[in-house]
Structure 1
Amino acid sequence: MATRYPMGNYMKQAGALLGVSPDRVLRRVGLSNTLLEEDFSVTAEMFFRLWDAMSAEADRPGIELELATAYAHGPFIPPIFAFSCAETLASGLERLADFKALIGPAIMEVSRPGGGLHLVLRPADPGLQMPARMGLFELLYILECARTFTGVNLRPVATGLPGPLELDADALAYLGVAPDTGDAVRLTFSAEDADRPLITRSAALWETLEPGFVEQLRAKNDTTSMTARVRQSLSEALPGGATSIEDMARRLNVSKRSLQRRLSEEGTSFQNLLSQTRFELSEQYLKNSDLSVPEISYLLGYRETSSFFRAFQGWTGMTPGDYRTKGTAV
């Protein structure tokens, strides 16, 4: 299953900053504006398409610098916070690289060739190309964060963009060095700047918050389908009577609407999975245990045994007792 990335809140924030209608951006790529009712997620390909659509809808130069400076001083973004708590610029960017996947479809690599500090940002999917204007935003954003967290007006040694792009005067002046055109976002700092301490560093705060960040990354990298997660969770939750989609959404830490959409994308629904899981478990209990029918009914989350009888007859055309007898005879 393709990895998905949060986009809904970002579109609302960026739209407000740029004076752009998120509805119009969604229409440009053929998506419904009902997605804006929550923080929806998209594939890497759609993420890039939405970025291009946002740029096209704004239709003016300089939006990348506007967004970069606003975001560097605006909403709380966990990977950027991780960066800010580090001891030095180099360790901060290395930490940002660890958690970058939480906020976008990109892989970030940090190295120290010759003592300097070299950063490369590529699409997480090697079959895709990051839009050049998005690459410019990433370049400006990381540089603005680096300047803010060090308290120094750092000047890169070199920069690069994933495709040709004519920069406006403000963006070029901000970078201080014209970017090369290549296959990735690139940013290089001197050895002196690499080891600069961050004025925002806080080892104690990071120690407190790091486990939560690591868990978010683990969950992000979990490629198990939502169908499999729901089936597993139902097996655990049914004996406690958790049989509603609201119960399941809470257990899986997603919204009801997100859960419905994810299951629909995988070609199923919560009610189908609930019925399938109950049937499969009932078969196991009837064939491989001495549990009574009322006990099995309870374990499947039915409040009334009669409800289990009706459901089982609908699945098999037999009563649970007849099914168990037939299985034993075979």
Structure 2
Amino acid sequence: MTQQTFSMDNAWRLMLVDMGIDADELLRRAELPRDLFSREAVKLPAPSFFRLWDALAEMFDDPELALKIGQALSTEHFSPPIFAALCSPCLSMAASRLSAFKRLVGPMRLIIEETDDLFCVAYEFLQPTVTPSPTFIEFELVFLVRLARIALREDIQPVRVVSTFAPFHSGFTDFFGVVPEKGEREMLFFSREDASKPFLTANESMWDFFEPTLRKRLSELDGSESTADRVMSCLYEQLPGGQTSIREVARSLGMSTRTLQRRLKQEETSFQELLSQCREQLARHYLQHSTMSGAEISFLLGFDEPNSFFRAFHAWTGQTPERVRAAYQHPN
């Protein structure tokens, strides 16, 4: 199975120059090829993508680095997906368009949630077993607020900012206008009034120009993945909701169960092998990064009852979940 990769935005090149960053040193620290930024099309697996952000944070050693990058952004840095968002009639539509094409610029997707009074953008990382860079998370939250302010020419403020890495440095509170809260995922809440305010940068004819190109790039990104990669991505998303059947995954991928089985066989794997691999990776992730009980983890992984999970985990690792958790907490 090949490793899923994600496009890297060309705006990186401009950002490095504008911030006076030594690209060679950055790539060396991130253990990435020295010619990376000179390539026409750059695609990185999620671990390498986040390693680049961690290397950037290491070079600057500044708790407000993500804030400074976000505030330095201008339209010169924006790629087609971001221009498409700026062409939108309002923030709610911009976020919806970004949610459709976010994978073109990073290993994540946006989830839009709305109530009568609030408009919420939640961030979901496509490979939950890969720990995202804190600097990247901070930047993403800053970026959407910055984009809205550029488009509106108004200093709007989110109603709430929630992050797994809160509390942030005080400068973020000054920027957002609210104190970021600790939570289980990254979320930005805006008032429905602010989310509906018309963008001064709205340009539907420009959106009509960008949309076919964006859809073509997204199709190319999907086409570069193996079927096994796509199945794993679906399982990461669907397992916590109890969806573990091959029929449900096949439907999500837009193919029949028989076609999915045939393609996986051509790649010398099977749905059951991938399901077990995904379950093991997520189980290890939960044991290392949460305090959930074995029964709770069992439920999230789609097992009918905890004993089935315990037997499967022992078959994968030769150990009990408790022993593996203890090893994470007290490494030799």
TM-score range, shorter chain: 0.5 to 0.7
TM-aligned CA deviation for residue 209 of structure 1: 2.5
Separation (CA, whole Å) in 1 of partners of 2:90 and 2:25: 42
TM-aligned CA deviation for residue 65 of structure 1: 2.0
Separation (CA, whole Å) in 2 of partners of 1:11 and 1:193: 29
The aligned counterpart of 2:182 is: 181
Q: Among 159, 162, 176, which residue is 2:161 paired with?
A: 159
Between stretches 216-225 and 192-201, larger displacement belongs to 216-225
TM-aligned CA deviation for residue 162 of structure 1: 2.9
Q: Among 109, 112, 117, which residue is 2:111 paired with?
A: 109
The aligned counterpart of 1:74 is: 76
TM-aligned CA deviation for residue 52 of structure 1: 0.7
Between stretches 209-218 and 17-26, larger displacement belongs to 17-26
Separation (CA, whole Å) in 2 of partners of 1:88 and 1:9: 25
Separation (CA, whole Å) in 1 of partners of 2:35 and 2:155: 42
- The count of residues paired between Structure 1 and Structure 2 equals 226
TM-aligned CA deviation for residue 9 of structure 1: 4.1
Change over 3 Å in CA distance of 1:168–1:17 after alignment to 2: farther
The SS at the match of 2:95 is helix
Aligned pairs (5 A) from 1:279-294 = none
Separation (CA, whole Å) in 2 of partners of 1:210 and 1:32: 32
The aligned counterpart of 1:97 is: 99
Q: Deviations over 1:303-322 (max 9, x none)?
A: xxxxxxxxxxxxxxxxxxxx
Indicate conservation of the 8 Å contact 1:86/1:92, yes or no.
yes
Separation (CA, whole Å) in 2 of partners of 1:57 and 1:144: 24
Opposite residue 41 of structure 1, the aligned amino acid is: K
The SS at the match of 1:117 is strand
Separation (CA, whole Å) in 1 of partners of 2:37 and 2:213: 27
The SS at the match of 2:128 is coil
TM-aligned CA deviation for residue 165 of structure 1: 4.7
TM-aligned CA deviation for residue 11 of structure 1: 4.4
Q: Deviations over 1:79-109 (max 9, x none)?
A: 2111111122111111111111111111111
Separation (CA, whole Å) in 1 of partners of 2:17 and 2:146: 20
CA RMSD of aligned residues (A): 2.3
Aligned pairs (5 A) from 1:218-237 = 218-224=219-225
Indicate conservation of the 8 Å contact 1:107/1:122, yes or no.
yes
Change over 3 Å in CA distance of 1:8–1:151 after alignment to 2: closer
TM-score by length of 2: 0.63
The SS at the match of 1:107 is strand
The aligned counterpart of 1:201 is: 202
The aligned counterpart of 1:30 is: 31
The aligned counterpart of 1:120 is: 122
Opposite residue 158 of structure 1, the aligned amino acid is: R
Change over 3 Å in CA distance of 1:135–1:80 after alignment to 2: same
Q: Deviations over 1:114-134 (max 9, x none)?
A: 342100112111222322221
TM-aligned CA deviation for residue 187 of structure 1: 0.5
The aligned counterpart of 2:137 is: 135
Identity of aligned residues (%): 27
Opposite residue 120 of structure 2, the aligned amino acid is: H
Indicate conservation of the 8 Å contact 2:92/2:195, yes or no.
yes
TM-score by length of 1: 0.63
Indicate conservation of the 8 Å contact 1:78/1:213, yes or no.
yes
Segments of 5+ residues of structure 2 without an aligned counterpart are: 227-332
